[in-house]
């Protein structure tokens, strides 16, 4: 025969809940318990949603990243649409050792995560503050570059670039023609800049200004960047600079700094200068 103690234990939870419901609505104890319960349930729902939605969010970021690569490739003369990249025009991913400028055939580009590598002391290097134009602190020792080829001919090289803007880190791609001196396009696929100001880096009209700009000055130093205001046509700066973003001075400077960093010796400079030796 069940003991009365067992019955009391089984009903204690109900009795406690019933007593809680019987408390007046203005009871401080009831208010605290209900508030804590709501917060707990909300936290569980938010955490669960974040876990469930993360794969979809990552997939969306990957699609956006690949779309930006395709947009730059589509700016090549004779390429009408990204979707037409196929047997004739192909994009080949290669991993580069940024210190030597050489390809690393032992690393699969599909498996290499440059952002994760930048956080790993064994796979990254610290950038001294006096050289850290892009304000990234550390950079991965390796990077994935994209070679756009038409049959056996190199048409473009697309480089991943990132650096600090005004309120966020800017992630994008810089496309260079096969001469490695002329810009095909610049496109950012992730940032958190101020809408209507720094976010104008997404404006198609502003992005189109980069096409045809030169990256190196006469001394072989990265001269590409964003001017503080409008660029005077025919001026000495017109070959390298695009118009500044009105009201977004810090974002404009961030774009200039990240481009000059990644084209310099701490970025892809060694790779680009040794590139003729590895065209095949």
Encode pLDDT of 27-52 as tens digits: 777 677 777 777 877 777 676 665 66
Q: In the predicted model, what is the mean pLDDT of residues 246-250?
A: 86
| Residue 104 structure tokens | 């690393």
| Residue 144 structure tokens | 């994935």
Residue 30: exposure state from Cβ atoms within 10 A (0-12, 13-18, ≥19): middle
Other CB atoms within 10 Å distance of the CB of residue 39: 10
Residue 251: exposure state from Cβ atoms within 10 A (0-12, 13-18, ≥19): buried
At residue 240 the predicted structure's pLDDT band, cuts being 50, 70 and 90, is very high
At residue 280 the predicted structure's pLDDT band, cuts being 50, 70 and 90, is very low
Measured CA to CA, the distance from residue 89 to residue 84 in angstroms comes to: 8
CA angle in degrees (0–180, nearest 5) for 277-142-267: 70
| Residue 273 structure tokens | 């200068």
Check residue 57 and give its pLDDT: 56
The one-character DSSP state at 141 is S
Check residue 44 and give its pLDDT: 76
Check residue 277 and give its pLDDT: 56
Q: In the predicted model, what is the mean pLDDT of residues 175-193?
A: 91
Check residue 215 and give its pLDDT: 95
């Amino acid at each position: 025969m069940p003991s009365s103690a067992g019955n009391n234990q089984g009903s204690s939870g109900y009795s406690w809940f019933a007593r809680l419901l019987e408390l007046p609505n203005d009871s401080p104890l009831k208010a605290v318990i209900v508030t804590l319960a709501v917060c707990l349930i909300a936290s569980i729902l938010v955490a669960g949603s974040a876990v469930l939605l993360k794969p979809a969010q990552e997939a969306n970021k990957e699609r956006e990243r690949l779309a930006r690569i395709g947009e730059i490739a589509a700016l090549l003369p004779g390429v009408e649409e990204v979707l037409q990249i196929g047997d004739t025009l192909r994009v080949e991913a290669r991993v580069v050792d940024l210190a030597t400028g050489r390809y690393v055939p032992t690393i699969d580009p599909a498996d290499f995560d440059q952002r994760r590598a930048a956080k790993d002391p064994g796979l990254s290097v610290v950038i001294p503050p006096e050289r850290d134009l892009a304000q990234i602190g550390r950079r991965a020792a390796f990077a994935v570059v994209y070679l756009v080829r038409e049959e056996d001919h190199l048409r473009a090289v697309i480089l991943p670039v990132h650096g600090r803007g005004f309120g966020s880190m800017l992630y994008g791609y810089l496309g260079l023609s096969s001469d490695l001196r002329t810009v095909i396009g610049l496109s950012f696929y992730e940032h958190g800049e101020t809408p209507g100001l720094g976010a104008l880096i997404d404006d198609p009209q502003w992005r189109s200004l980069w096409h045809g700009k030169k990256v190196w000055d006469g001394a072989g130093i990265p001269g590409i960047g964003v001017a503080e205001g409008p660029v005077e046509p025919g001026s000495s700066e017109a070959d390298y600079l695009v118009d500044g973003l009105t009201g977004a001075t810090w974002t404009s400077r961030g774009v200039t700094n990240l481009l000059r960093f990644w084209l310099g010796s701490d970025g892809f400079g060694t790779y680009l200068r040794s590139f003729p030796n590895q065209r095949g």
